[in-house]
């Protein structure tokens, strides 16, 4: 029994999955978001990926699952299982520093706090992603997607999205 | 198959679905853009939690059931949602009053549900609690803003609260199936949540300078949802929601 296909290492899989981005915030990969919890390879054809959904109703999750399947299929996997793990619940604390930098450059203010020390909104300092002013105000807890809140900069007067600390 | 568990999980799912469905009717009709987006976001969260429960129900029941079998192919009398959730949206103040009462319940309920001995239920609760916390903050802020706002907004939210007051009582009545699960630690004892709910509601209404219908607090209330006895409104919701699957069974797009 000779298996001609080279066996991927777990590290390879992490690299492969770096091609999968959040369809709503395309600068972020699913690893930046901390969505992938576990990778379990049975053999060169079978793999099990455990992911955690961000928000319960996030429509991006279906697309993300499909994209994971497509990437893995392109690398020779024929038996792909995607498991959803709800607990511990996803938190922005799992977002990578690299992810936060990319968000900022994209014009979305990344989470400024960890869930452990997240102040109430009137005490939180949320800088404007354009002019970096900290004189900003909350317009709505619910922005263009469930994960974002809507703010307005009081200096440059531009509205902007804040990726909520969740 | 644990039929008590299936019944209970469907109860939780139906609450999420019907609440989310009613809120989604605001999409494109919100009084201002930010409110429109907020209500749609909350609807999505709620329907998302419902999906998790329906998926779990399907895995309990087996028998070829999927998450779609329950919302699309059951009759009115099979639905177990609370009556308060199927009431028409009314005006913005009516929707806010309903949301506020229900979000306050969900907050205390999910807090307790996180300790369920059923791992799947506890997991869904843990995830949803983070979202429900935002929902309650949103609806509480609007109760305060309307109550402490103009003469007209105050009168509208006060009337909305009085109108819906006979509905939340049902939320604290366990079903027979639920009582059995309480003994196993799967379902929390909802009768114990009433006083924390009262506190949350009273605190916000006071800040909103509104009258708390305290005298009516333990008065008669509507009930029946958990047993499948619904108001006429649910039938209309399902007629719209299920139309496509009934006319073209199994259709996908
Ligand atoms: Zn600015």
One-character DSSP codes across B93-129: HHHHHHHHHHHHHHHHHHHHHTT-SSHHHHHHHHHHH
Note the pLDDT of residue B108: 98
Least confident of A17-31, A50-64, B113-127: A50-64
Q: Which of B45, B120, B137 sits opposite A57 (nearest CB)?
A: B45
Instruction: Tell me the nearest-neighbour CA distance from A6 into chain B, angstroms.
Output: 36
Instruction: Tell me the nearest-neighbour CA distance from B152 into chain A, angstroms.
Output: 23
For A148, name the nearest residue in chain B, comparing CA atoms only: B41
Query: How many angstroms separate the CA atoms of A61 and B88, rounded?
Result: 31
Output the CA A134–ligand 1 centroid distance in Å: 8
Query: How many angstroms separate the CA atoms of B106 and A114, rounded?
Result: 24
Q: How confident is the model at residue B212 (pLDDT cuts 50, 70, 90)?
A: confident
Residue B43 pLDDT exceeds 80: yes
Residue A1 pLDDT exceeds 70: no
Task: Please check whether residue B104 is in contact with residue B136, taking contact to mean a CB–CB distance below 8 angstroms.
Answer: yes
Query: How many angstroms separate the CA atoms of B156 and B159, rounded?
Result: 5
Residue A2 pLDDT exceeds 50: no
Task: Please check whether residue B94 is in contact with residue B31, taking contact to mean a CB–CB distance below 8 angstroms.
Answer: no
> Residues 6 or more apart from A96 whose CB is under 8 A from it?
A31, A32, A34
Paired with A109 in beta bridges are A162
Least confident of A146-150, B68-72, B133-137: A146-150
Strand order in the sheet with A36-41: A36-41, A46-51, A79-84
Q: Which residue has the tokens 């996180």?
A: B114
The backbone torsions φ and ψ at residue A29, rounded to the nearest 5 degrees and listed phi first, read -85, 165
Note the pLDDT of residue B218: 67
Mean pLDDT, chain B, integer? 95
Instruction: Tell me the nearest-neighbour CA distance from B42 into chain A, angstroms.
Output: 8
Query: How many angstroms separate the CA atoms of B133 and B135, rounded?
Result: 5
Residue A5 pLDDT exceeds 80: no
User: Which H or E run includes A97?
Assistant: helix A97-106
Which positions in chain A touch B138 (Cβ < 8 Å)? 141-142
Residue A6 pLDDT exceeds 80: no
Output the CA A33–ligand 1 centroid distance in Å: 25
Q: What is the pLDDT of residues A24-37, one digit of tens each?
A: 889 999 999 999 99
Q: pTM of the predicted model, to two decimals?
A: 0.91
| Long-range contacts (CB closer than 8 Å, 24 or more residues apart) made by B141-147 | B142/B96, B142/B100, B143/B96, B143/B97, B143/B100, B143/B204, B143/B205, B143/B208, B143/B210, B144/B204, B144/B207, B144/B208, B146/B93, B146/B96, B146/B208, B147/B205, B147/B207, B147/B208, B147/B209, B147/B210
Average pLDDT over residues B72-98: 98
**Domains with residue ranges and CATH for chain B:** 3-247 (1.20.1260.10)
Residue B153 pLDDT exceeds 70: yes
Cα B156 to chain centroid, rounded: 22
Which tokens in the block code for residue B174? 């366990």
Output the CA A156–ligand 1 centroid distance in Å: 4
Query: How many angstroms separate the CA atoms of A163 and A99, rounded?
Result: 11
The answer to whether the CB atoms of A87 and B42 lie below 8 A apart is no
**Domains with residue ranges and CATH for chain A:** 10-84 (3.30.300.130), 96-163 (no CATH)
Query: How many angstroms separate the CA atoms of B51 and B66, rounded?
Result: 10
Give percent above pLDDT 90 in chain B: 94
The answer to whether the CB atoms of B128 and A56 lie below 8 A apart is yes
Average pLDDT over residues B57-78: 96
Query: How many angstroms separate the CA atoms of B171 and B40, rounded?
Result: 24
The answer to whether the CB atoms of B42 and A142 lie below 8 A apart is yes
Higher pLDDT, B93 or B219: B93
Cα separation values, A76 from A31, A82, B110, Å: 21, 16, 42
Output the CA B27–ligand 1 centroid distance in Å: 30
By the CB criterion, residues less than 5 angstroms from ion ligand 1 are: A 128, 130-131, 133, 153, 155-156
Instruction: Tell me the nearest-neighbour CA distance from A113 into chain B, angstroms.
Output: 16
Q: What is the pLDDT of residues A99-140, one digit of tens each?
A: 999 999 999 999 999 988 888 777 899 999 999 999 999 999
Higher pLDDT, A44 or B200: B200
Note the pLDDT of residue A24: 87
Note the pLDDT of residue A58: 83
Task: Please check whether residue B45 is in contact with residue A166, taking contact to mean a CB–CB distance below 8 angstroms.
Answer: no
Q: How confident is the model at residue B219 (pLDDT cuts 50, 70, 90)?
A: confident
Least confident of A138-142, B119-123, B170-174: A138-142
Closest CA to A144 of A118, A107, A92, A97: A107
> What is the SS3 string spanning B148-214?
CCCHHHHHHHHHHHHHHCCCHHHHHCCCHHHHHHHHCCCCCCHHHHHHHHHHHHHHHHHHCCCCCCH
Note the pLDDT of residue B252: 84
Task: Please check whether residue B237 is in contact with residue B86, taking contact to mean a CB–CB distance below 8 angstroms.
Answer: yes
Which tokens in the block code for residue A21? 């981005």
Give percent above pLDDT 70 in chain A: 96
């Amino acid at each position: 029994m000779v298996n001609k296909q080279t066996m991927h290492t777990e590290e390879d899989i992490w690299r492969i999955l770096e091609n999968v981005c959040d369809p709503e915030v395309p600068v972020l990969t699913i690893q930046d978001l901390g969505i992938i919890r576990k990778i379990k390879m049975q053999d060169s054809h079978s793999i099990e990926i455990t992911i955690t959904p961000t928000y319960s109703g996030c429509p991006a999750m279906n697309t993300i699952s499909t994209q994971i399947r497509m990437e893995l299929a392109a690398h020779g996997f024929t038996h792909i299982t995607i498991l959803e793990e709800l607990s511990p619940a996803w938190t922005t604390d799992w977002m990578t520093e690299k992810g936060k930098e990319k968000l900022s450059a994209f014009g979305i203010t990344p989470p400024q706090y960890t869930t452990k020390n997240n102040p109430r909104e009137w005490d939180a300092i949320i800088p404007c992603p354009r002019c970096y002013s900290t004189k900003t105000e909350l317009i709505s807890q619910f922005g263009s997607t469930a994960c974002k809140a809507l703010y307005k900069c009081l200096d440059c007067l531009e509205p902007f999205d804040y990726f909520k600390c969740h | 198959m644990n039929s008590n568990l299936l019944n209970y999980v469907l109860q939780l799912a139906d609450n999420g679905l019907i609440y989310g469905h009613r809120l989604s009717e605001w999409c494109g009709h919100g009084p201002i853009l930010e409110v429109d987006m907020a209500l749609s976001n909350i609807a999505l969260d709620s329907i998302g939690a419902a999906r998790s429960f329906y998926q779990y129900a399907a895995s309990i029941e087996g028998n070829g059931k999927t998450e779609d079998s329950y919302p699309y192919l059951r009759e009115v009398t099979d639905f177990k949602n609370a009556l308060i959730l199927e009431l028409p949206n009314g005006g913005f103040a009516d929707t806010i009053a309903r949301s506020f009462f229900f979000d306050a319940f969900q907050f205390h309920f999910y807090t307790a549900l996180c300790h369920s001995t059923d791992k799947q239920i506890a997991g869904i609760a843990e995830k949803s609690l983070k979202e429900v916390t935002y929902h309650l903050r949103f609806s509480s802020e609007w109760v305060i803003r309307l109550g402490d706002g103009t003469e007209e907004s105050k009168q509208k939210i006060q009337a909305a609260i009085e109108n819906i007051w006979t509905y939340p009582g049902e939320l604290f009545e366990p079903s027979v199936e639920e009582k059995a699960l309480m003994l196993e630690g799967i379902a929390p004892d909802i009768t114990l949540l009433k006083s924390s709910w009262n506190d949350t509601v009273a605190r916000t209404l006071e800040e909103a300078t509104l009258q708390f219908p305290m005298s009516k607090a333990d008065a008669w209330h509507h009930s029946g949802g958990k047993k499948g006895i619904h108001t006429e409104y649910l039938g209309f919701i399902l007629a719209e929601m299920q139309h496509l699957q009934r006319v073209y069974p199994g259709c996908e797009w």
